[in-house]
Amino acid sequence: MGFLSPITALIVAGITVPLLVSLYFLKLRRRQVMISSTLLWKKAIQDLQVNSPFQRLRKSLLLLLQLLILGALLFAMSRPTMETVASPGQRVVIVIDHSASMNATDISPTRLDEAKKAAIELIDNLDTTGESAEGGALGGAMVVSFAQGARVRQSLTNDPSRLRDAVRRIEPTDQVSRLGPALSLIEPYVQTGSDDESDKLVVYIISDGKVQASGQAMSLAGAELRYIPIGGGPGRMAGAADPDNLGIVSFSARRDFDKPEIVQVFARVANFGSQPVSANLRLSLDGQVSRVQPINLQPAPAPDPESSATSTKHETSVQFDFVLPGSALVELAHDYDDQLESDNTVRLTLAPARRLRVLMVSRGNAFLVKGIQSAGVRQLSFMNPEKYEDQDPLSLRRGGWEAAGTSGLAGEGFDVIVFDGYSPTTTPKVDSLYFAASPPIEAIQRVASEEGDTGSQRVLTWERDHPLLRYVVLDDVILSEPGRLVVNSQASVMATGQSGPIMAEVVEDGVRHVVASFDILKSNWPIKISFPVFLGNTVQTLGLGGLADDAGIAYRTGDIATIPIDTGDNLSYTGPVTIDVVRTQGTTVLPVFTRAGLYEASQPIEPPFDRLGVNLLAPDESDIRTADILNVSSIATGTTATTSTFRREVWRWFIWAALAVMLIEWLVYTRRMHL
């Protein structure tokens, strides 16, 4: 410890200490007592003062405390400094992980709090005086938080209080953590830097190392990365407990295809702790416990980055079957007391058993009829184009359309309309699929093949990740006179033939239109496996809003939920946090879920959207063992880093100490006064 201005403090001490002592004697509040004679007392005082001149000071605790306060203030005045380890004057980025695993309680209270503490310590140690140890100016520091996405909490600044505020404002989430977006956010700052060492960007990543690399090498060229691991595990920090977490890492429900009232619930539970775990899994339906199943799991094997083989003894799959035709909230929870709360309970809302109602506007297409029927629709109605044009477009959606001349159940609204070789004159109000036809909208227009162009075409490319084209292989499909689509930027092309886009989709006014320019009767597609798969995907996706596979609705943290039903205004969901919904073009879009839990709608709306289950379901986050190495830039970023020291002023400590002693003095004083 050193002092910047000891002389000043000494001079002030020389004046104030005797002053205080003398003031103490002058100002001492004495209780006046009448006595018969002061004769003997005076003599006693004289005797005693001769024997011990400091008798008065002996019992004066208050004076002692006042001297302590003065001492602390004088110390502060002498501007004491301490040598502190810190980065020398570069620009500093503090990246804080606030994903689900950072809520683990292996460090009290949570890893996130510990990370914030580490960050604030880092900020405290920053030389914010504007001059670095090398004499260059500090380029400032910024704070970035990341979970599923990254966010700049505080842009580059030299103001430590703003940095600290930014760190304190970081709230916990239950999302997965992806470091990539955070590094992308930082990247521009690296690029503006020069080769000058003092302008180098130092990036502190405060995390438990559970970041999803998603197979891509993360890199941040030109910056110096330092990883500060938080939490227990291989890279365990002092004071952290052994990681101990039992997590439900997958959860889904499915209705039986033939008997929709039969529900199957699947879940996978994994132990990420170092001890064997025995627990009970409890399945509840609408809050009523339905099943309890005991499980025993071995400890998780040590994470080995070299081998991808995982032991299966530390995890198990469970299945529950029950009969439930209606809607219900299905909740699965385990009763093991572990360090991560958010993966202990998962829930989903079971949709009522139902099948799709599809209208086919066609002059006859047996292949298409077979294909749609195989897609598991409840009702398939037929109309010819003339009959269709007579209907009120809204009645087709809501029900009450003119049923005469049609077959099948009449009156109810349709979920999907399939147009086969007929382009409607008005835009349908129901999600639609078009073959050799197109809706009357600008975004997608079909151009028929020119006369004489009889050449067969193959499909050149298609979006294999598109939900409608999942498991659809178009390699061997040969199309005759496919025509082409003219699409604008609103539409997205799904498949492209030799003459241009042949499949595209667009969402207009909340209605989804999937357009294929070709006639299936002029292709070999109907006899390919991919055809019923495509129809199944499309009808289910359009009709059930992407919920075709699962009988229940559940979201993961980080998802953006779209509610495909017409909700009223002022709808909000209350759960771990309150979510206000945004309505755009007839669809209700919820913001990104940050916390796992059950969200309930503020107004009664149609099930299953009245209760939304949001789950973590991320094995990487449930595995709360801290990684000791963070692989970024394909160079392992360890915990070691070169540091330099600088002298930090610590006068604030003494001011605080003085205030504390002053408080004690006040307490002592009031105590004396009342005694």
Partner 1 sequence: MAETITQPETLLSPEFMHRLDRLDVMSRKILRGRMQGERRSKKKGQSVEFADYRSYVVGDDLRFIDWNLYARLDKLFLRLFMEEEDLSVSVVMDVTKSMDYGDPNKLHYAKRVAAALGYIGLTHYNRVNLYTFADTVTDMALGMRGRRPIPRMLSFIQDQQPIEGEHVSGNLAVVCKRLAMLQRQPGIIVLLSDFFDKGDMADALRYLGGDKHDVYAIQLLSPQEVDPAKGHILGDLRLRDIEDGDIAEVSVSPALIKRYKTNLQAYCQHVREQCLKRGVAYMISETDVPFETLVLKYLRQRGLLG
Q: Which residues bind partner 1 (CB under 8 A)?
A: 28-45, 47-48, 52, 55-56, 58-60
For partner 1, the closer CB: 41 or 471: 41
Question: Least distance in Å: CB of 644 to partner 1?
Answer: 55
Using CA atoms, how far apart are residues 500 and 483, in angstroms rounded to an integer? 8
Edge-to-edge order in the sheet of strand 150-157 = 150-157, 141-146, 91-97, 201-207, 224-229
Nearest Cα to 433, choosing from 318, 541, 307, 295?
Answer: 541
Question: Least distance in Å: CB of 55 to partner 1?
Answer: 7
Using CA atoms, how far apart are residues 6 and 17, in angstroms rounded to an integer? 16
Question: Least distance in Å: CB of 19 to partner 1?
Answer: 20
Question: Least distance in Å: CB of 36 to partner 1?
Answer: 4
Using CA atoms, how far apart are residues 559 and 41, in angstroms rounded to an integer? 86
User: Residue 312: exposed, middle, or buried by beta-carbon count in 10 A (0-12, 13-18, 19+)?
Assistant: exposed
Strands 611-615 vs 552-556: parallel, antiparallel or unpaired: parallel
Using CA atoms, how far apart are residues 622 and 210, in angstroms rounded to an integer? 9
Question: Least distance in Å: CB of 51 to partner 1?
Answer: 8
Question: Least distance in Å: CB of 22 to partner 1?
Answer: 14
Using CA atoms, how far apart are residues 201 and 94, in angstroms rounded to an integer? 11
For partner 1, the closer CB: 31 or 309: 31
For partner 1, the closer CB: 37 or 307: 37
For partner 1, the closer CB: 37 or 216: 37
For partner 1, the closer CB: 60 or 395: 60
Using CA atoms, how far apart are residues 324 and 305, in angstroms rounded to an integer? 44
- Are 560 and 262 a contacting pair, CB within 8 Å? no
The crossing angle, in degrees rounded to 10, of helices 6-27 and 61-77 is: 160
For partner 1, the closer CB: 45 or 659: 45
For partner 1, the closer CB: 32 or 584: 32
For partner 1, the closer CB: 45 or 663: 45
Using CA atoms, how far apart are residues 306 and 311, in angstroms rounded to an integer? 14
Using CA atoms, how far apart are residues 574 and 40, in angstroms rounded to an integer? 81
Question: Least distance in Å: CB of 160 to partner 1?
Answer: 46
In Å, how far are 305, 358, 365, 367, 410 from 414, measured between CA atoms? 52, 6, 19, 21, 10
For partner 1, the closer CB: 341 or 665: 665
**SS3 labels along 372-431:** HHCCCEEEEEEECHHHHHHCCHHHHHHECCCCCCCECCCCECCCEEEEECCCCCCCCCCC
Nearest Cα to 459, choosing from 500, 496, 514, 505?
Answer: 496
Question: Least distance in Å: CB of 665 to partner 1?
Answer: 16
Question: Least distance in Å: CB of 28 to partner 1?
Answer: 6
